[in-house]
Amino acid sequence: MKNPSTLFKRIFKSGSLNFFRNKTVSISSVAILTTTLIIIGIFFFFRGIFDYTLTQVKDKVDIKVYLKLDASDEDISALKQKIMRLPEVKSVELATAIDSLNDFKEKHSNDAITMQALDELSTNPFGAVLTIVAQDTAGYESIAQTLDSGTQFLGESSSIIDKINYYELKSSIDKLNNIVNWINTIGYWITLIFIIMSSLIIFNTIRLSIFIYKDEISVMRLVGASNMYIRGPFLVESTIYACVSSVLTMILFLPITFYIAKKTSIFLNGLNIYNYYLNNFFSLFGLLLMVSLILSTISSILATRKYLKI
């Protein structure tokens, strides 16, 4: 019985020789797999950009609960505490009646007529406002329904609520949620399509390699070579495809992200795509390597099983 380490060395050497001898086939396979990995990488970057943009948008989306003018500090504090207990709520900020008045004055400081009309009033026409930020945009509807005066959750605290602006923003929030779902669906389908294409190409590449070496395979069968010894070189060859393609893809992304970094930083309000690439280098490389190894290995196993009859 042969030493396992010796057998592995021979299999690895044979697979490596196959890779370098069939330059045209190898280059074509690497090119196709690299193209697939680039698509996956682009989706990775778009996902990062989308998450960054979405975070900024989410930070600007909130529900404002306008309170009645006669609401006492105790009632306001009690209402705030009840809202904070909702699992969908991330934070609640209170703007007092004075704060609301000052904000209005600041926004309309250049409107002399409005400021004059405000000065003629003997009392503050603005009430306190609670600004609610949800854990996720999908939670705003649930929060708004809970805060509705018809619910039992708030009890007597509901009496100090004047109005809730969620229903004015509902269409915008629904559009944001639809965009999130649409991007996820499209991205996954595009990735799946290219994964299937790459699998088929690698499958046919391995099949072509088997055809090229059919005479050698016949001789190995005659001398009693094991199935592993026959199949092994093709698995090694497909693994080399995966490693080379992953490294090549990462190398290509380096100058590309560096070149567009300044533009993305300006266009995306601070997101430097080159820094994002560096910060997520190992995550991206690990993802590409894992995907390429899975694709190439499965394709190789299926091809050898079908065309080597082992």
Expressed in angstroms, the distance from the first to the final Cα of the chain is: 21
Q: pLDDT per position in the chain (310 positions), as tens?
A: 456 676 677 777 777 777 777 777 778 778 878 888 888 888 888 878 877 877 776 666 778 888 888 888 888 888 888 888 888 888 888 888 888 888 878 887 787 777 777 777 777 788 888 988 888 777 887 888 887 755 567 777 778 888 888 766 667 667 766 777 787 787 778 777 777 776 776 677 666 666 666 666 666 666 666 667 777 777 788 888 889 999 999 999 999 999 888 887 777 777 888 899 999 999 999 989 998 888 777 777 776 666 565 5
CA gap 247, 40 in Å, rounded: 14
Cβ(181)–Cβ(167) below 8 Å: no
CB neighbours of residue 153 within 10 Å: 14
Q: Which sign does the torsion angle of CA 237, 243, 246, 249 carry?
A: negative
CA gap 25, 213 in Å, rounded: 13
| pTM, two decimal places | 0.61
Angle between helical axes of 214-222 and 166-212 (0-180°, round to 10): 70
Edge-to-edge strand ranges of the sheet holding 161-164: 89-95, 129-134, 63-67, 161-164
How do the domains of the chain map onto residue ranges?
A: 4-57+177-307, 61-174
CA gap 260, 266 in Å, rounded: 10
Please report the pLDDT score of residue 308 as a whole number: 61
Residue type at 309 in one-letter notation: K
- CATH placement of domain 61-174: 3.30.70.3040
